[in-house]
Structure 1
Amino acid sequence: MEDHQKYEIFGYVFELPPKYEPIKMIGKGTYGAVVSATNKEEDKGVAIKKLSKIEDIIDAKRVLREIIIMKNLKHENILGLLDVVYVSKEDEILGDIYLVTELMETDLNRVLRSKQELTDEHIAYFTYQILRAFKFIHSAKVIHRDLKPSNILLTESCDLKLCDFGLSRNLSIQKQEDLTEYVVTRFYRAPEIMLSSHSYSNSVDTWSIGCTLGEIINNGKVLFPGENYIEQVNLIIDKRGTPDEETMKSISNENAKKYIESLGTKDKLPMDELVPFNNSDAQDLIDKLLDLNPSTRITVDEALKHPYLANLHDPDDEPVFEGDIDFSFEGNADLTLEDVKKLILSEISSYNSAYYDLL
C-alpha cells in the first residue's frame, strides 16, 4: 500500500494518498466529515468524506450499503463515487474509509438560507432534476429515506445532484422488515413513518420531495417544523387536514389512530396559505406530493408528467436503472462483523486492487 499523508482539519485527521490535497472543511455530521480537495494527478477538485468510526455491525452494514448504492447508481443527478480510500488501523474493528466524490459548489440548504431570490424557472428546474434522480433511484428498488435541502448539491449553473445514501434501503429485500427505525430528518418525515406503519414504500421519498419543494417556494421556511414527533404529527394534520377513512385504515397502530381521533376534525389548509405562490401548477404538484395517504400519493413517474414540468419533461432523457444490485447481505442474519468487513474491503478493492491483500 502507498504511504498516506496526514492532515488535521477542524479537529478531524485525514490520512490520504499523496495525489489528494485537502483544502477546507465543507461539511460535517453524524456520519462523517467532508473536505474539498485537489486531485493533483488530474488537476481537478473533488470532495472527500471521512466516514465515522465503525463501532458495530449496524455501522458496518450502513457503510457497505452506502458504498454499494453509490457505486451502482450512476446518473447525472446523483453524486458520483470516484474513488474509495482505506487506511487500516490495528486497534480498531475497521480502519478509516474515505469516499471521494465529485465536488459541487454548494447545497440547496445554503442557497435557501442565503435568501438568494429564486425564480419560478429555477424552482421548476430543481424540482425536475430531483424527480429525475428519484425515478432512477426508485427503479433500482432503492429508497433514499433522507432527502432534505442539505442533501441536494448544486453548481453555479443550477445543475443538481443528490447525495448521502447512508440511510438508504433496498425495498425488495426488506419489504417484510420493520423499517420504522430512525429515518429522515423529522421535518421531512412522511406521516406514515410517525404513525407506526410497520412497512412503507418509496412514497416516503415523494413526501420529502413535497416538503422540500414547499420550502423552496416558501423562501426557506420549513413547512412542518415540529420540535418532536408528536408536534410533527400535529403540524401535518393542522395543515393537511384530518386523514380520510381510507388513510385511517392504512394505519396499523391503534394508539396512533386514537391519537388522531383525539385531535378532532381539522380542515385542510388551502394551498394559497400553505405555499403562497403565483403558479397554481406548482401548488397542485405539492398538494399531490403531500397526500396523507401513501397509496394515493403521486409517484415520481406521475410527478414528472405533471403540468408544472411540461416544459422540462422529456421521457427519452429520464433513464431508469438497468441490472441488479446485490443486497443479499441484508437478508443474511448469520453475517458477523468480520464478514461485513470483508464485504466492504471487497467492494472498495474495485478502486484499488491493493486492498485485496487485506481480505
Structure 2
Amino acid sequence: MEEPVPAGKTKFTSGGTTFIVDDRYEYIKKIGHGAYGVVVAAIDHQTNTKVGIKKIPNAFEDLIDAKRILREIKLLGFFDHENVISLLDVQLPPARTGYNDIYIVTDLMETDLHRVIYSRQDLTDDHIQYFMYQLLRGVLYIHSANVIHRDLKPSNLLLNKNCDLKICDLGLARGYDRETENLTEYVVTRWYRAPEVILNSSMYTKQIDIWSCGCIFAELLGRAPLFPGEDYLDQVQRVIGVLGTPNSEDMNFIGNPAARRFISKLPKREKMRWQTLYPKANPVALELIDKMLVFNPEKRWTVEQCLGHPYFQDLHNPEEEPLASEPFDWSFDNFEPTRDLLTNFIYEEALKFHPIN
C-alpha cells in the first residue's frame, strides 16, 4: 500500500524521483539533475508564475553537504538582486527532526551558460558583453554583502531566453573576514581556481571570484575552457603557459616554499598575447580580460574596476548596480553539524515561508 498523500499536498514522479509538495504547485517537466538532486519546472498557482523546485533526497546523509545546503538557503534568503537566483519557498518538513528530504523553490531559469557555450548558438560580442556585465553586477552585490562565492563557473550561471543571467549554487560561499578553516577542500571546480587557491595560499580575498569570472569570459570568447588542468600541477603549468612565469614579487603571496620551488623549476615562459589566443575577439574585451586573469591577486582588478572598464560603457551605470543593504551575518555557520541540529535549522528556515499561527 502506498502512503496516502497528506492533505494540502500533491505527489508526482519525475526522473524516477517522487516529489511531495504543497498543492499550490503543479508539475510541468523535469529540467535537470544537479549534484544534490532533481530539479523540475512547476506552476505556482498562488502567484501564477513558473518556478523551479529542487528536491534534495536524503539530505542529511552527509552532514558537510547538509550544512552547505543550509548555508545556501540562508544566503539566498538574504540576497535580493536581479542577478542572483531568488529563493521563493522552502517546503515545511513534516516535523522539526526525523525527516530526510528538502524541497527548495526558486525562480525558473531555462538553461545555463555552460549549455549555451557548448551549443551551436551564435555568440556575438553583444551577448558576451551582456553576460559578463550581469555576472559582474551580481558579483558586486555578493561581495558588498561580505561574501565570496568561491565556485563561479558556467554551469552555476542560469539563463533564460531573453539572456537574463542569475548566479546560483552558493553552498560553497564564505565570508572573507572569517578564520580560514580548511578553506581549500572544496573551492571552485579546478579549471576556474585562482593561482592562490591552487597553491594553497592562506590569502583568500574576493579576487578569487574575479579570476573565475576571467576564466568564464575566456570560455565565452573561445567556446572552450582556458585552463582545463588534469590535476593541480597541470593547472599551474597551464596558467603559467598563458600568463608567463611570474616574477619573484608576484610570487610573494605563495607562503608554501614547495610551491614556489615547483614554479621556479618550470621552464621559463613568456606571456602569450590575448590577440593570438582569441583573434576574433573585440580588442576592448581582451584589455579587460588582461586585468582579470592576473597571477598576483594583489594586482588583479576588483569587481568595481571591471564594471568601470570601457568594455561596459554602454551598460555600466553605478546607480543601477545595487549593493547589499548590510553585510551577511555568518554567525549561524559556527557549529559542529549534527543531524538534529541541521534538520532543526532547515525547519526554522521553512517556517519563514510557512508561519504557524
Q: Distance in 2 between matches of 1:86 and 1:243?
A: 53
Matches of residues 218-257 of structure 1 in structure 2 within 5 Å? 218=222, 220-257=223-260
Equivalent residues of 1:15, 1:87 under 8 A apart:
no
In the superposition, relative to structure 1, how do residues 221 and 56 fare at CA in structure 2: closer, same or farther (>3 Å)?
closer
How far has the Cα of 1:270 moved from its partner?
0.7
> Which residue matches 1:343?
345
Cα pair 1:56 1:337 within 8 Å, conserved: no
Among 296, 299, 302, the alignment partner of 1:299 is: 302
From 207, 213, 226, the equivalent of 1:209 is 213
1:260 and 2:263 are equivalent in the alignment: yes
Aligned residue pairs, count = 351
What is the identity, as a one-letter code, of the residue corresponding to 1:120?
D
Amino acid in the other structure paired with 1:353: P
CA contact (8 A) 1:21 1:40 kept: yes
Aligned to 1:61: 67
Aligned to 1:43: 48
| Corresponding residue number in structure 2 for 1:184 | 188
2:3 alignment counterpart: none
Does the aligned pair in 2 maintain the 1:27–1:35 contact within 8 Å? yes
Structure-1 residue corresponding to 2:78? 72
Q: Distance in 1 between matches of 2:281 and 2:333?
A: 46
TM-score (norm 1): 0.92
Relative to structure 1, the CA distance from residue 343 to residue 326 in structure 2 (aligned partners, 3 Å threshold; closer, same or farther) is farther
What is the alpha-carbon root mean square deviation over aligned residues?
2.0
CA drift at 1:72: 0.8
Mapped contact 1:190–1:207 kept (Cα < 8 A)? yes
Tell me the distance in 2 between the aligned counterparts of 1:167 and 1:140. Answer: 15
Deviation at 1:89, TM superposition (A): 8.0
1:62-141 alignment, distance < 5 Å: 62-88=68-94, 94-141=99-146
Specify the code of the residue in structure 2 equivalent to 1:60: A
**Structure 1 residue 347: Cα displacement:** 1.8
Would the aligned equivalents of 1:192 and 1:294 in 2 still touch at CA under 8 Å? yes
Q: Residue type matched to 2:60 in 1?
A: I
Please tell me whether the aligned partners of residues 277 and 283 of structure 1 are also in contact (alpha carbons under 8 angstroms). Answer: no
CA deviations on 1:307-339 (whole Å, 9 max, x unpaired) are 111111101111110124332122345x64423
TM-score, normalised by the number of residues in structure 2: 0.92
The one-letter code of the counterpart of 2:142 is: I
How far 1:93 moved relative to its partner?
A: 5.2
Deviation at 1:36, TM superposition (A): 1.1
Equivalent residues of 1:180, 1:199 under 8 A apart:
no
Gaps of 5+ in 1: none
- Is 10-19 or 137-146 further displaced after alignment? 10-19
Separation of aligned partners in 1, 2:32 and 2:258: 39
Cα distance in 2, alignment partners of residues 179 and 258 from structure 1: 23
> What residue is the counterpart of 1:157 in the other structure?
162
Secondary structure in 2 matching 1:137? helix
Question: C-alpha deviations, 1:133-186, integer Å up to 9, x for none?
Answer: 0100000011111111111111221111111111111222x2443311111112
Letter in 2 for 1:150: S
Identity %: 46
The secondary structure found in structure 1 opposite 2:20 is strand
Runs ≥4 in structure 1, deviation > 3 angstroms?
Answer: 86-90
Q: What's 1:196 paired with?
A: 200
8 Å contact from structure 2 (residues 147, 328) kept in 1 = no
C-alpha contact 1:178 1:198 (8 A) present in aligned 2: no
The CA deviation at 1:88 is 4.1
Kindly provide the amino acid, as one letter, of the partner of residue 246 in structure 2.
Answer: P
Deviations 1:216-271 (A, max 9, x none): 111x2111111222221111111111122122111011111111112121111111
Q: CA deviation at 1:114?
A: 1.2
Unaligned stretches of 5+ in structure 2?
1-5
Shift in Å, 1:22: 2.2
Shift of 1:304: 0.4
1:124 Cα deviation after fit: 0.9
> 2 CA distance for matches of 1:171 and 1:32?
29
Amino acid at match of 2:313: A
- Which residue identity is paired with 1:5? T
